[in-house]
Structure formats: structure tokens, C-alpha cells
């Protein structure tokens, strides 16, 4: 049996509705910003419950725009977690600031109890990441930000459709970033990103920065760049947003089958699920003994398991010159890099494929 990781062929199997809407868009030649972008910003804003949304080219741009919008740059430190995607740290470096890495907890989320130990006089912001589409413990992070007068920027790139006790990721921080990369919970046909904020003083500046700092065709207020989302992608994403709840529901149902099938194995450690939260399962992760042998076994059996990622960020060569961290404090991120496997969990999997995944792992450990 084959258990595919990539669900995009199914997600975009029938694109007639997209093509039909593209025809209308092509007739308008409204190819940069304009009505389609504004309509998608508004639809997304309502879906997550934010005050303002600004559509950009990708999640990395969303992070960079958020950091720049807060005025973060050279000489500033931003605290984030060591087990995230390159872009969280890359965006901090891109604005000239210094990333400070802290460890994750057993749920693979930034460990809020480790944050205060790395604060310095240069600390300007904390960037919690909604890693894998689950969420960190937000309350203590909000408290730390208040107590030390720090800004918060959420990397909610994997969190579209998730909720933390009823509230969407990307609505807790001052400015927050989302990604619509093809393998997130809401998929562009290429790249897409969004910035959400409730603070008008940040929003007006970011809207202009996204579009060269322009106030009108002939005048700029300051030097900005082009980070604009493509209207063609807005069509794809707007239709995807209509399916989002269904996507999240199916992924959660699938994740439950894996959780229940693997939960009793002593060789497997799954992150604790918080009953008040909903996860997107952008990634379904667990720690597995004999990881490298198991992943080879799974791949041979047709199960396209992956590793996100074999190196934690502090283990990357690039981290040594640009990031502040003490490797001895990053034990869990290191452990995760050594033992982690990501299993297919997407919305198009059939129950028999999930049971096959469970049974193959059990068989590997001799537990039928
Ligand atoms: C946690 C996280 N942050 C940032 C990004 C960057 O998003 P994008 O690929 O849209 O630039 C991604 C995804 O790729 C991500 O998973």
C-alpha cells in the first residue's frame, strides 16, 4: 500500500472553479494589488478574527514585514525557538537583528519557562512559533512580554485554522505572520503570506512598505520594497479558505487514529494534545526509537514518512555566526532532531492507510 505525503495532486485535482475565476481576473487585468487582494485580506481577516490583514508574497516576507513594522533591526535581539523552520530565524537575521534561541518543550513548542533566562538589555521581542500547527503555551509568553515591555510577533505560518482555547494563532502578538506555502493548512499554487495586527500605527506603515513606500503613483513616503501577494493566488486561497474547516477536521480525525494506534508504544513519544486547542497538523510529529532504521523501513513499505528536520537550528553552520545560544540548554531540540519522524496525516488519507501506517510501525517494534 502507498501512503503519500504530498496531497497537492488531490487538493488541486479539480481546478475548474479556480480557472473560471482566473478568467474573470484576467479580463480585469487587475494583476497587482486591487480588488482580489483586498477581498481576500478581508475574508482572511474575518476567518481568523484579526483587526487588520496585509497580504504578502510569502510567510518569510510576512515575518520580515512584521519585524520591520515593529522597528526591529541592528542591535536588537529577538527570542525564538531552536526547533523551527529556517525562515523564523532567517527573517530576524534579514532585518539585521540577532536571534536568541531557546529550547522546545515536550510538545515541541517554545518552552516559556526558559525565556526569561535569555533576556538581555537588547531584547526587543519574542517570536513564539506555532510549530507543526500546534501552539505554544501563550499565556506565560504574553505575561513575560508585559512584564518586560517586549513586543510579540507570532510565527503562525503553520497555524491557519488552529485555535488556542477558541482564539486563532496570529491574534495574540502585536504583529503576526502566516504562510500559505503549498504544504501548509491553506495552500497557494506557489507562495502566499499574510500579516495580521490590531495596531493601526504598525498597519499603515506596513501597507506602504509592502508596496515601495508609495502613497500614490508618483510619490513615496519612505523607501519600501515589493512584497505584494499575487491576485492569481488570492483566487486559489479564497476558495481554499472555504474548505479550511473541513481540511482541519479531517486532519484531526486522522491524527486521532495515529495517536490511538501508537500511544501505548514505549518506543514512541507523541506530543501531549491540549483539549482546549485545535491543531492544523501541518506536520504530524513524534519521537521514535531507532529513528533512522524505522524511517527506512516505512519508506520501503510505501509510507512516505519524513524528518522535519534532521538538524535543529543551533546545529546549522549558519547559526554559529548569527545566533546567540548555549547548546547545553537546547537538549530537547537536539533530541527532537535525532528522533523525530513526520508521518502523513493529510485530509485525503483513507482510514486503511492510517491503520497500515500504525500497523507497520507496530510491526517494526515487534508489537502487533
Ligand atoms: C514555522 C515557519 N515559519 C516560516 C515559514 C516560511 O513561510 P514561507 O515558506 O511561506 O516563506 C514556514 C514555512 O515554510 C514555517 O513553517
Ligand 1 atom closest to residue 63's alpha carbon, by position in its atom list: 4
User: And the C-alpha cell for 329?
Assistant: 540548554
Mutating to test ligand 1, I would choose from 55, 66, 82, 85 the residue with most ligand atoms within 8 A of its C-beta, which is: 85
Mutating to test ligand 1, I would choose from 157, 185, 342 the residue with most ligand atoms within 8 A of its C-beta, which is: 157
d(CA 47, CA 244): 10
Query: Alpha carbon of 342 to those of 45, 81, 116: distances in Å?
Result: 30, 19, 31
| pLDDT of the chain, 368 residues: tens digit per residue | 999 999 999 999 999 999 999 999 999 999 999 999 999 999 999 999 999 999 999 999 999 999 999 999 999 999 999 999 999 999 999 999 999 999 999 999 999 999 999 999 999 999 999 999 999 999 999 999 999 999 999 999 999 999 999 999 999 999 999 999 998 999 999 999 999 999 888 999 999 999 999 999 999 999 999 999 999 999 999 999 999 999 999 999 999 999 999 999 999 999 999 999 999 999 999 999 999 999 999 999 999 999 999 999 999 999 999 999 999 999 999 999 999 999 999 999 999 999 999 999 999 999 87
What distance in angstroms lies between residue 63's CA and the mean position of ligand 1's atoms? 9
Q: Pairing mode, if any, of strands 175-179 and 193-197?
A: antiparallel
Ligand 1 atom closest to residue 91's alpha carbon, by position in its atom list: 4
* Minimal-distance CA residue to ligand 1 atom 8: 59
What distance in angstroms lies between residue 60's CA and the mean position of ligand 1's atoms? 6
What distance in angstroms lies between residue 364's CA and the mean position of ligand 1's atoms? 33
* Minimal-distance CA residue to ligand 1 atom 4: 87
Contact call for residues 64 and 238 (beta carbons, < 8 A): no
CATH class of 244-364: alpha beta
* Minimal-distance CA residue to ligand 1 atom 14: 181
Contact call for residues 299 and 314 (beta carbons, < 8 A): no
User: And the C-alpha cell for 351?
Assistant: 482510514
d(CA 341, CA 240): 27
In CATH, the architecture of 8-103+112-238 is 3-Layer(aba) Sandwich (3.40)
Tell me the backbone φ, ψ of residue 51, rounded to 5 degrees. Answer: -85, -40
Ligand 1 atom closest to residue 87's alpha carbon, by position in its atom list: 4
Collapsing DSSP states into helix, strand and coil, what is residue 161?
coil
What distance in angstroms lies between residue 220's CA and the mean position of ligand 1's atoms? 30
Ligand 1 pocket, CB under 6 A = 58-60, 84-85, 87-88, 129, 155, 157-158, 179, 181, 191, 193
What distance in angstroms lies between residue 155's CA and the mean position of ligand 1's atoms? 8
The conformational region for residue 108 under phi > 0 = left, psi -120 to 50 = alpha, else beta, is left
What distance in angstroms lies between residue 367's CA and the mean position of ligand 1's atoms? 37
Ligand 1 atom closest to residue 130's alpha carbon, by position in its atom list: 1
In the chain, CATH 3.40.640.10 sits at 8-103+112-238
What distance in angstroms lies between residue 363's CA and the mean position of ligand 1's atoms? 35
pLDDT digits (tens, 9 = 90+) for 263-321: 999 999 999 999 999 999 999 999 999 999 999 999 999 999 999 999 999 999 999 99
Mutating to test ligand 1, I would choose from 57, 130, 156, 179 the residue with most ligand atoms within 8 A of its C-beta, which is: 179
Mutating to test ligand 1, I would choose from 57, 58, 60 the residue with most ligand atoms within 8 A of its C-beta, which is: 60
Predicted local distance difference test score (pLDDT) of residue 201:
84
In the chain, CATH 3.90.1150.10 sits at 244-364
Predicted local distance difference test score (pLDDT) of residue 302:
98
What distance in angstroms lies between residue 90's CA and the mean position of ligand 1's atoms? 10
What distance in angstroms lies between residue 148's CA and the mean position of ligand 1's atoms? 28
Tell me the backbone φ, ψ of residue 324, rounded to 5 degrees. Answer: -100, 125
Amino acid at each position: 500500500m502507498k501512503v503519500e505525503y504530498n496531497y497537492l495532486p488531490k487538493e488541486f485535482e479539480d481546478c475548474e472553479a479556480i480557472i473560471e475565476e482566473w478568467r474573470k481576473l484576467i479580463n480585469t487585468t487587475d494583476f497587482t494589488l486591487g480588488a482580489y487582494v483586498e477581498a481576500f485580506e478581508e475574508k482572511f481577516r474575518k476567518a481568523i478574527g484579526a483587526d487588520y490583514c496585509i497580504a504578502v508574497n510569502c510567510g518569510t516576507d510576512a515575518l520580515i514585514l512584521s519585524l520591520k513594522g515593529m522597528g526591529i533591526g541592528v542591535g536588537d535581539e529577538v527570542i525564538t525557538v531552536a526547533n523551527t523552520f529556517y525562515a523564523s530565524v532567517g527573517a530576524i537575521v534579514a532585518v539585521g537583528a540577532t536571534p536568541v534561541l531557546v529550547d522546545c518543550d515536550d510538545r515541541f513548542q517554545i518552552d516559556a519557562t526558559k525565556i526569561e533566562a535569555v533576556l538581555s538589555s537588547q531584547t526587543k521581542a519574542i517570536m513564539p512559533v506555532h510549530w507543526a500547527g500546534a501552539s505554544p503555551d501563550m499565556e506565560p509568553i504574553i505575561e513575560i512580554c508585559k512584564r518586560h515591555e517586549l513586543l510579540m510577533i507570532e510565527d503562525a505560518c503553520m497555524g491557519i485554522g488552529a485555535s488556542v482555547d477558541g482564539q486563532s494563532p496570529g491574534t495574540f502578538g502585536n504583529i503576526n505572520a502566516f504562510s500559505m506555502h503549498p504544504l501548509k493548512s491553506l495552500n497557494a499554487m506557489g507562495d502566499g503570506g499574510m500579516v495580521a495586527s490590531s495596531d493601526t500605527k504598525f498597519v499603515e506603515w506596513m501597507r506602504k512598505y509592502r508596496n515601495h513606500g508609495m502613497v500614490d503613483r508618483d510619490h513615496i513616503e519612505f523607501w519600501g520594497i515589493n512584497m505584494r501577494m499575487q491576485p492569481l493566488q488570492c483566487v486559489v486561497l479564497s476558495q481554499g479558505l472555504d474548505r479550511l474547516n473541513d481540511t482541519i477536521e479531517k486532519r484531526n480525525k486522522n491524527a486521532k487514529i495515529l495517536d490511538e494506534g501508537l500511544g501505548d508504544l514505549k518506543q514512541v513519544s507523541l506530543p501531549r494534545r491540549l483539549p482546549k486547542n485545535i491543531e492544523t497538523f501541518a506536520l504530524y510529529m513524534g519521537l521514535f526509537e531507532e529513528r533512522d532504521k524505522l524511517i527506512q523501513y516505512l519508506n520501503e513499505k510505501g509510507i512516505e514518512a519524513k524528518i522535519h528536520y534532521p538538524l535543529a537550528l543551533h546545529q546549522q553552520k549558519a547559526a554559529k555566526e548569527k545566533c546567540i545560544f548555549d547548546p547545553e540548554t537546547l537538549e530537547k531540540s537536539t533530541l527532537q532532531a535525532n528522533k523525530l519522524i513526520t508521518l502523513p496525516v493529510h485530509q485525503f488519507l483513507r482510514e486503511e492507510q492510517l491503520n497500515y501506517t500504525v500497523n507497520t510501525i507496530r510491526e517494526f517494534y515487534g508489537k502487533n
